[in-house]
Structure 1
Amino acid sequence: MTQPITSTTTTHEPDVWLPTLPPTDLVFDDGVPLESNRHRLAMNLLIESVYAALSPRKNFYASGNMFIYYSLQQIKNRDFRGPDFFVALNVDGARERQGWVVWEEGGKYPDVIVELMSPSTANVDLTEKKNIYEQIFNIKQYFVYNPADPTSLQGWELQGNGFVALQPNDKGWLWCEALGLWLGTWHGSIVQETTDWLRFYFPNEQLVLLPREREYERAEKAHEEVEKLRAKLRELGVDPDAV
């Protein structure tokens, strides 16, 4: 037997059906890989970036290519794979999860979702999944991006009972109000693959650096300071290598 959790229209919380299936009966891996290695790198980049941006906060959870279970009918059909990237705010970020099971999260849905499109998934991402995220999940913001097309970034924000398209800034970035971050493209190399990646930027439009990028930047600054000191010693007639 299932039991519905109802909600009012003022909070826009959808009905959630609680199945009697124990968590061990849920499938958390559909065996379908991401479209390409670039898609996998793009997903991991977003996950690592959002943790870098929101640190030291602990009250959020971000992941990707993970099932989101929200209804008994969806479990029976097993016809909906999880989003490529999502963030849920105001939750226990340290809790171990195999998937996002809405009825185990107190009815909580993700706040932000990003789908990494490809020619084979774009139609579903822009229609079926968009409708689910808007009408069932009522997520705050939804974004789509094709890692092979730097002009493909689109986004929507829930206003009232439906999505409204977000307008880009002069750089083509979209403001993610839920996270307080810009979402935009960045051209560079990630694990020896160079393309226009989707990345987060702080409100001042500075790139959110990954931990390894911060370390590299600190090392570069330290090297510059050493070189300045060596140059100053030379000006004073002192051989820096002899000091």
Structure 2
Amino acid sequence: MTIATAHPNLTLPDHTQLPESDGTFVKNFQEHPQSLLLTDSIYPVLDSLHPDGRYAIGQDCGIYWRLVEPPERGAEAPDWFYVPHVPPLLDGKRRRSYVLWQEVVAPLIVIEFVSGDGTAERDTAPPWERENGKPGKFWVYEQAIRVPFYAIYEVDKASVEVYELVGNRYQRCEPNQRGHFPIEPLGVELGIWQGTYLHQSLPWLRWWDQDGNLLLTGDERAEQEKQRAEQEKHRAEQEKQRAEQEKHRVEQEKQRAERLAAKLRDLGVDPDEYS
């Protein structure tokens, strides 16, 4: 474990004093919508798990796990991650990064979106094997930060790999019968969904509940509610039409009975005697 720890006479930098970015570009136009999709759809689950609101979601934000120069070499910036039991704001200020020696709690899950061939996301090299001392992402998440779940998503292959920390090593998880990967502490499953989001038709990374129901975004929930309201309106209109038809049928039956009674009276028969 190489996470920096405080010395009694040393004041370590906090999230306001460390670089907010390593200066690299977001790899493609799909990454931002993908992060939004993951965040938007899981909010109801996290709000239920944390009624006090104490959780944080990071999107392409730095997780500082050691103090080195330059500081960026001591950080990884997952494309998406979730940390339980920490406030979304720190000391009333927006988070610029997530500093482990300041907060201690590790993310429960980190997700990397592959843009190249996936080598960087699967790099297990420790820092002592590198001239620049920069370890591989896989090693950092497994051995330094010790994230319980690590997912590697490849949109070009329409695939996702999920690793779970068992003991001191990541074990690759097997998908369930739906082709999803259960993330038990969250009560959700992670998998690939082929569909259209923000006008892009792609194999997106999405969440499902434990029963296999897709977790919807706010817009999807609103659209679903709109369709439900329209269906209810249509059902009410059909019910109204049926009521009007029944009223019309009863009126016709009444008129037929009145015509029949009139004919009987013309024949000298009192229809009331047979009622």
Range class of TM-score, shorter chain: 0.7 to 0.9
What corresponds to 1:228 in structure 2?
235
Cα distance in structure 1, aligned partners of 2:24 and 2:216: 30
What corresponds to 1:215 in structure 2?
222
Match of 1:119 among 112, 116, 119: 116
Amino acid in structure 1 at the alignment position of 2:172 = A
Pick the structure with greater CA Rg.
Answer: 2
What corresponds to 1:4 in structure 2?
none
- Cα distance, 1:178 vs. partner? 2.9
- Cα distance, 1:35 vs. partner? 1.3
- Cα distance, 1:174 vs. partner? 0.7
- Deviation above 6 Å: which 4+ runs of structure 1? none
- The question of whether the paired residues in 2 share the 8 Å contact of 1:74 and 1:80 is answered with no
What corresponds to 1:110 in structure 2?
107
Q: Deviations over 1:59-85 (max 9, x none)?
A: 211111001111112754637540001
Amino acid in structure 2 at the alignment position of 1:71 = R
- The question of whether the paired residues in 2 share the 8 Å contact of 1:42 and 1:147 is answered with no
- Cα distance, 1:39 vs. partner? 1.5
Cα distance in structure 1, aligned partners of 2:178 and 2:116: 25
Cα distance in structure 2, aligned partners of 1:76 and 1:94: 22
* Compared CA separation, residues 49 and 75, structure 1 to 2 (3 A): farther
Amino acid in structure 2 at the alignment position of 1:111 = L
What corresponds to 1:194 in structure 2?
201
Moved more, 83-92 or 68-77: 68-77
- Cα distance, 1:51 vs. partner? 1.8
Aligned residue for 1:16, secondary structure, equals coil
Two-structure CA RMSD over aligned residues (Å): 2.1
1:176 aligns with 2:183: yes
Identity of aligned residues (%): 26
1:148 aligns with 2:140: no
Gap runs ≥5 in structure 2 = 124-135, 246-275
* Compared CA separation, residues 235 and 61, structure 1 to 2 (3 A): same
What corresponds to 2:83 in structure 1?
88
- Cα distance, 1:167 vs. partner? 0.6
- Cα distance, 1:235 vs. partner? 2.8
Aligned residue for 1:145, secondary structure, equals strand
- The question of whether the paired residues in 2 share the 8 Å contact of 1:86 and 1:110 is answered with yes
* Compared CA separation, residues 143 and 214, structure 1 to 2 (3 A): same
Amino acid in structure 2 at the alignment position of 1:182 = E
- The question of whether the paired residues in 2 share the 8 Å contact of 1:52 and 1:210 is answered with no
Amino acid in structure 1 at the alignment position of 2:56 = Y
Aligned residue for 1:125, secondary structure, equals coil
1:139 aligns with 2:147: yes
**TM-score, structure 2 length as denominator?**
0.74
What corresponds to 2:262 in structure 1?
none
Amino acid in structure 2 at the alignment position of 1:162 = R
**TM-score, structure 1 length as denominator?**
0.84
- The question of whether the paired residues in 2 share the 8 Å contact of 1:61 and 1:91 is answered with yes
- The question of whether the paired residues in 1 share the 8 Å contact of 2:62 and 2:78 is answered with yes
Gap runs ≥5 in structure 1 = 1-12, 239-243
Aligned residue for 2:241, secondary structure, equals helix
* Compared CA separation, residues 77 and 226, structure 1 to 2 (3 A): closer
* Compared CA separation, residues 181 and 75, structure 1 to 2 (3 A): farther
- The question of whether the paired residues in 2 share the 8 Å contact of 1:140 and 1:178 is answered with no
Cα distance in structure 1, aligned partners of 2:106 and 2:243: 65
- Cα distance, 1:89 vs. partner? 1.1
What corresponds to 1:99 in structure 2?
97
- Cα distance, 1:192 vs. partner? 0.7
